[in-house]
A and B are shown apart, each in its own frame.
Chain A
Amino acid sequence: MKIIRLLLVDDEEDFRTTLAARLKRRNLDISDAGSGEDALELLKQKSFDVAIVDIKMPGMDGIETLRHIKKIDPLMEVILLTGHASIEAGIEGIKSGAYDYIIKPCNIDALLDKIEDAHRRRFIEEGHGKELTQDK
């Protein structure tokens, strides 16, 4: 199983640590950032496969963070996770290239599935598997 490089972006430190702890047992390489700005800083040093980004954050919000991430690494997948942002934000998010929009708290297995699906999307978008669907 491939290691997925995952970035958690949320201003709630408690939430980040709890989620990271709950995802730890799985096959993930997890980094975290407490703001959109920090996340972009981190992206300069390291690349990630998937990010989970909270929509409502002070300073740079989740949608803005998503847009910056997509500029830096268009193939990085972003899952928007939100406790109390509007579905309108979900619409904006998907239009800006988010992989999906999930309401938290959510089931950990469902979230893990989502992360793996998002990772597969990156893999496919990179061009893998293309030869399988082309005519011989």
Chain B
Amino acid sequence: MFEKLKLFKRKKQDDRTYARDNLSDLFRFKYSCFKMLLDSNAEFLKVISDIEEKLQGQQVFGMSYVRSRSAKAVFHALRMVKNLDDLSGHRYSSLFETFEKINSNINEIIKKKKEDLPSENILPYSVITAEMADWVGGKNANLGEVLNKAGLPIPNGFAVAIRAFKSFMLKTGLFDQVSKKKMEIDPDNPETLITISEDIRKLIISTKLPPELEEAIMLAYANLVESAAAINTSGSSFMVSMRSSAIGEDGELSAAGQYLSKLNVPKEQIISAYKEIAASLYTPHAISYRLNKGIRDEDIGMSVGCLQMVESVASGVMYSRNPLNLLEKNIIITAVLGLGPYAVSGVITPDSYIVDRDGQIVSAEISQKTVKLVCKPDGGLMEVLVADDFRHKPCLLPEHIRILAEYAQKLENHYGCSQDIEWALDAKGNISILQSRPLRAEQFGKTIPITPVLTAYPLLIEKGMTVSGGVGIGPAFLVASDDDLLNFPEGSVLIARHSSPKLVMAMKKAKAIVTDIGNIAGHMASLAREFAVPTIVNANVATTTIPSGMEITVDAYSGRVYQGRVTELESFQNTGQFPMKNTPVYNILREVSDWVVPLNLMDARSPNFTPASCKSLHDISRLVHEFSYSEMFQLSDFVSDRKGIAFKLKCAIPLDLYVIDLGGGLTENNQDFKDIHPDKIASVPFKALLNGILHEDFHQTQLRPIEFKGFMSVMREQMLSPPSVVERFGDRSYALISDKYLNFSSRVGYHYSILDTYCSQTVNMNYITFSFKGGAADDTRKNRRVRAIALILQASDFAVEVTGDKVDARYQKHEKTLIEQKLDMLGRLLQFTRQMDMLMTNEASVDALSKNFLAGKYNLE
């Protein structure tokens, strides 16, 4: 009898262990699906913003861009669908069909465009335009555009096309050798990166070019010499400058001057210089950048521009506007004697001139010149002393400055935005443009004031959030109803309470858009950027302070709105000049983007929020992201109902919190208890989190009287929400723990949060991921709460992404103590958000609540 009982007891324990292990596997599996899904969602949204930016038509791109970006969007949408389907136990298989329909439409469009890469290895600049970025790289394409479309002089020359690079890499077997070498990089060991980068570059430099390629380059050089000789009869040996012009998703690298360029290259060194420049694709920095971004070597390539060496007497950089103050109409020119590298390297102080639009010098700072960089007769550069007579003289004559100012304005007009320009002046007084690129002013999602406050005009909005930069001037028109939208007068500034996809109807007619509340990642924001309509959201008081009919000036560079026509800002209005627009490549991107970018599924509570209604990849990602949260929660509900696996946490405040130990999470084997006391917790991350949750300031504030309006809003939501999403009005939290691991999901009212963390002595393995989804209360309140949380997390050094009513935040590779501190903070934040629900009565509460929290004021009476 006694034996039997013992046996029975053991069986019961085995069952529990079995169930617990299974549960652990099930949970970790589901969480891994959720994590992959979030990861792909973030990547997907990045592709979307990038495409939107390109659709403005100011940046050059080619078909390889269209192809690689759409493939990336497709891949991540598919990966999201797959992981939701796995997460849900295959209840969303129909989404694969929806996905496939959209995918095949995209493929059709891309297939239409034939692979019309030119058969030439060499292209003279006289035939190059911005559309040819795929063939000759962005820098060369832009230089061709300057010559042929903007009609300004550049040095004579030709581009060795990407095609030449590819044939060099493929025909010689270099590509395979390089790929093989790259496999030896151990991402955990930076030393290997440096040695392998060196090996690869040596390999490229020591490999012979295919003979036909070498011949083609040397023939092009001979032609260049000949055509130049007709103009220039000086008998000295003919030197070239060779400039890198890479393709691929490495805009940032090219911009940062990461790739090699060589000046004053003699004939006999052209081929080796070409190889050195090609090899600069494999510097340690460039390799690790691509590894981190997941950019494949197939998608990169190096074109080299080969230009007649301008033995410049002066050279430098100019900005068509002041980058720190776009309002200044003046052009800024910096100049050094001799060759350009010293103008940017900071070795010497350049002359700097501020010049007005007519080319008149407003002010000049003439530096003391001691040295300059010049060409060595046999190739390469050298530093020489500046003759005494020239040390105090300006580098440029007034007539040069006038021409430069004219060029700067022509380039700005051609590209439709402010430019950052490199130039050179030769001994005969000819000025050539060496490079022109957009001067980056406003940054997406951030408002860095780059225009000063103009005190001569009444300031109506001081600090809105820039969604799409620029300036718009016109009479205000308040939109409160659909009728208002239909009657929206052309050329007005649209003012509305919320950003909404409906506003798109009037967008093309609007000079600018200002909303009290809005989302920088929303649908309207996307379109505003695409149509280049200056747009400010979160202006808070626009609808209450700006009456219809008042003439206003929207400065979306700095998030401000002025009363009246601000003449200083007039010239920043959209000129409609976009070099890429209506090119064939642009049109393909436009067509593809129709299947990728538009978001039609706006409202998660609408009966149309279904797989069948998805019309774009963006719709799919939105739907999947939304559904993934409820899937994660259904699981916790099942689990917390099961006895013997989950223990209820007993503590001072009423928390419906269940704990499951995966091993090492409790101080003793607790299998026979029903409840568990907090001091029995051994899990390091869970202890830290609980510390925050049980913070004494929250003890008294459990049930606070709520504002009636807020309460009604919560109730209404409960009635309107579909039962699958909202199962009950109450809290339930759930912690899966081991000694160093914690997965904590909680539902308070209708908001969900999921936290996953690893906290150990090994810094590299430590991370926290935290996702929060707004629940009860109407969209506006949800959005406010989400923004307040985002502000708090940002201020606490998390990387934060906001999508609709969801926040995904990450904090990784930090020391154990820091991870513990952040978990404590998150514990407090979770408690804090319980009260936040009803308090989000106005816009000011977003800032106020986040500030309170960060200041440690948790009691919100």
Interface residues on B, range: 35 or more
Interface residues of A in 36-95 (CB under 8 A from B): 83-88, 90-91, 94-95
Query: Distance (Å) between the CB of B615 and the closest chain A CB?
Result: 20
> Do A90 and B297 form a contact, CB below 8 Å, given A120-B28, A132-B22?
no
Asked if B72 CB lies within 8 Å of chain A CBs, one says yes
Asked if A5 CB lies within 8 Å of chain B CBs, one says no
Q: Which of A18, A91, A108, A121 has the most CB of B within 10 A?
A: A91
Asked if B457 CB lies within 8 Å of chain A CBs, one says no
CB-defined contacts of B19 to chain A, threshold 8 Å = 132
CB-defined contacts of B68 to chain A, threshold 8 Å = 87
Are B82 and A133 touching (Cβ within 8 A)? Answer: no
Are A84 and B25 touching (Cβ within 8 A)? Answer: no
State the majority secondary structure of interface residues on B: helix
> Do A88 and B180 form a contact, CB below 8 Å, given A124-B29, A129-B25, A133-B89?
no
Whole-angstrom CA separation of A101 from B78 in the bound complex: 12
Whole-angstrom CA separation of A134 from B639 in the bound complex: 10
Whole-angstrom CA separation of A132 from B79 in the bound complex: 26
Q: Per-residue 0/1 for A1-27: is the Cβ within 8 Å of any B Cβ (1 yes, 0 no)?
A: 000000000001011001000000000
Are B296 and A103 touching (Cβ within 8 A)? Answer: yes
Query: Distance (Å) between the CB of B628 and the closest chain A CB?
Result: 16
Residue from A88, A109, A113, A133 within 8 A of B71 (CB atoms):
A88
Q: At the interface with chain A, which of B182-190, B484-492, B535-543?
A: B182-190
Q: Which of A15, A117, A129 has the most CB of B within 10 A?
A: A129
Are B75 and A90 touching (Cβ within 8 A)? Answer: yes
Query: Distance (Å) between the CB of B110 and the closest chain A CB?
Result: 10
Q: Per-residue 0/1 for B281-307: is the Cβ within 8 Å of any A Cβ (1 yes, 0 no)?
A: 000000000010010111000000000
Query: Distance (Å) between the CB of A128 and the closest chain B CB?
Result: 5
Asked if B102 CB lies within 8 Å of chain A CBs, one says no
Are B294 and A103 touching (Cβ within 8 A)? Answer: yes
Residue from B23, B183, B635 within 8 A of A14 (CB atoms):
B183
Whole-angstrom CA separation of A129 from B86 in the bound complex: 14
Q: Per-residue 0/1 for B619-651: is the Cβ within 8 Å of any A Cβ (1 yes, 0 no)?
A: 000000000000000110011011000000000
Q: Of all chain A residues, which has the CB nearest B82?
A: A94
Whole-angstrom CA separation of A123 from B23 in the bound complex: 11
CB-defined contacts of B713 to chain A, threshold 8 Å = none
Residue from B23, B103, B183, B635 within 8 A of A12 (CB atoms):
B183
Query: Distance (Å) between the CB of A94 and the closest chain B CB?
Result: 6
CB-defined contacts of A116 to chain B, threshold 8 Å = 28
Residue from B32, B36, B297, B635 within 8 A of A120 (CB atoms):
B32
Q: Of all chain B residues, which has the CB nearest A86?
A: B298
Q: Per-residue 0/1 for B18-32: is the Cβ within 8 Å of any A Cβ (1 yes, 0 no)?
A: 010011011011001
Whole-angstrom CA separation of A116 from B25 in the bound complex: 10
Whole-angstrom CA separation of A18 from B639 in the bound complex: 41
Residue from B184, B186, B639 within 8 A of A132 (CB atoms):
B639
Q: Of all chain B residues, which has the CB nearest A123?
A: B25
Are A133 and B635 touching (Cβ within 8 A)? Answer: yes
Whole-angstrom CA separation of A133 from B22 in the bound complex: 11
Q: Of all chain B residues, which has the CB nearest A91?
A: B75
Whole-angstrom CA separation of A39 from B67 in the bound complex: 33
CB-defined contacts of A107 to chain B, threshold 8 Å = 187-188
Query: Distance (Å) between the CB of A42 and the closest chain B CB?
Result: 23
Q: Of all chain B residues, which has the CB nearest A129?
A: B26
Are A105 and B71 touching (Cβ within 8 A)? Answer: no
Are B187 and A109 touching (Cβ within 8 A)? Answer: no
Asked if A32 CB lies within 8 Å of chain B CBs, one says no
Query: Distance (Å) between the CB of B94 and the closest chain A CB?
Result: 15
Whole-angstrom CA separation of A123 from B19 in the bound complex: 14
Residue from B32, B72, B179, B764 within 8 A of A84 (CB atoms):
B179
Whole-angstrom CA separation of A44 from B187 in the bound complex: 35
Whole-angstrom CA separation of A120 from B89 in the bound complex: 13
Residue from B86, B182, B186, B188 within 8 A of A83 (CB atoms):
B182
Whole-angstrom CA separation of A100 from B40 in the bound complex: 12
CB-defined contacts of A124 to chain B, threshold 8 Å = 25-26, 29
Which residues on B are within 8 Å of A, measured CB to CB? 19, 22-23, 25-26, 28-29, 32, 36, 68, 71-72, 74-75, 78-79, 82, 86, 89, 103, 179-180, 182-188, 291, 294, 296-298, 634-635, 638-639, 641-642, 764-765
* 5 extra A-B contacts, CB within 8 A, seeds A105-B182, A132-B19: A91-B75, A104-B183, A105-B187, A109-B764, A132-B639
Residue pairs across A and B with Cβ atoms less than 8 A apart, 26 shown, are A14-B183, A15-B183, A83-B179, A83-B182, A87-B68, A87-B72, A87-B75, A87-B296, A88-B71, A91-B75, A95-B78, A100-B36, A100-B79, A105-B182, A105-B183, A105-B185, A105-B186, A106-B187, A117-B28, A120-B32, A123-B29, A129-B22, A132-B22, A132-B639, A133-B26, A133-B89
